Amino acid sequence: MGEILYGIHTVNNYLKHHPDKIKMAFIIRNSNSLSLIKLIKEISRFDISIQFVDVNWINRKLNNHTLLHQGILIYIKDDIKYEESDLYFLLSRRKCRSLLILDGLTDVRNLGSCIRTANAVNVNVVIVPKYRSAKLNLVAKKVASGGAEGVVFIRVDNLVETINCIKGFGFKIFGITSDATDIIYNADMNEPLALIFGSEDRGIRCIIRNQCDNLYSIPMFGNISSLNVSVSVGVCLYELLRQRLFK
């Protein structure tokens, strides 16, 4: 029937940007939620079929009673699946100047949060290895709050080869790691740039670190030595945005 999205904020974002891709909405009956009632009115403005169901029906569809669906689920037309060849096409046409690379990120919520931030700062390509990386599943899309539909998400077979290809198109490769001596605020981000972040527990793999033109850290002033990877992505992507738009 198509892919599923759920949650008031996620559905509302999708409705604003892609109403033509929504096949059908399923909403719990007799809800007193003002946010949900408002969303029903918005959906009704479009030619989208609405069915009212009980909460257990939605729980069964999601195969998980713990997901925070907020009483709404939609079916959408199948998303476009991007391949490595699409990345090379975008690079050859100079369609992007910023790339986000996540090396071995395994937590789907962190993935969703990173994608949401990338969308917010118009970094519209996110690259991950095919193996030992989180998939862009329902939970990741829910956390991304509609951001997943605004980025090109590409899984690659060989990240080293992909990075070398990206370099061939004139991109600098910056790795973000807690042990780097230089800090991100000293980085020049005005050239075409790919930022690499590592896994939650091990950071960037050595083989990937060796491909980086520079390594940078985020300065820490308290008694902790590192940030959650999605927070680190936010800090660095907004520094990139600041340099390009406000410096």
Among positive and negative, which fits the CA dihedral 60, 114, 241, 224?
A: positive
Final residue in a domain of this structure, among 41, 76, 111: 76
Q: Which segment of 41-50, 70-79, 194-203 scores lowest on mean pLDDT?
A: 70-79
pTM of the model: 0.78
Query: Is residue 71 domain-shared with residue 114, that is, in the same domain?
Result: no
Query: Is residue 112 domain-shared with residue 200, that is, in the same domain?
Result: yes
Query: Is residue 159 domain-shared with residue 213, that is, in the same domain?
Result: yes
CATH code where residue 186 lies = 3.40.1280.10
Query: Is residue 117 domain-shared with residue 185, that is, in the same domain?
Result: yes
pLDDT value of position 147: 81
Q: Which residues of 79-104 are buried (b: 16+ CB within 10 A; e: fewer)?
A: beebebeebeebbeeeebbbbbbbbb
Query: Is residue 45 domain-shared with residue 149, that is, in the same domain?
Result: no
Report the percent of the chain where pLDDT is more than 90: 49
CATH code where residue 32 lies = 3.30.1330.30
What whole-number distance in Å separates Cα of residue 173 and Cα of residue 17?
32
Query: Is residue 229 domain-shared with residue 145, that is, in the same domain?
Result: yes
Q: Residue 30 sits in which domain range?
A: 3-76
Final residue in a domain of this structure, among 21, 41, 76: 76
Q: Are 33 and 11 in contact (CB under 8 A)?
A: no
Beta strands in the chain (DSSP E): 3-6, 22-28, 49-53, 72-76, 98-102, 125-129, 152-156, 172-176, 193-197, 214-216
Query: Is residue 91 domain-shared with residue 113, that is, in the same domain?
Result: yes
Give yes or no for residue 149 having a pLDDT over 70.
yes
Q: Are 158 and 87 in contact (CB under 8 A)?
A: no
In degrees and rounded to multiples of 5, residue 170 shows phi and psi of 90, 15
Final residue in a domain of this structure, among 29, 52, 76: 76
Strands 22-28 and 3-6 turn out to be: unpaired
pLDDT value of position 214: 97
Query: Is residue 236 domain-shared with residue 151, that is, in the same domain?
Result: yes
pLDDT in tens, 120-146: 999 989 999 998 899 998 888 888 887
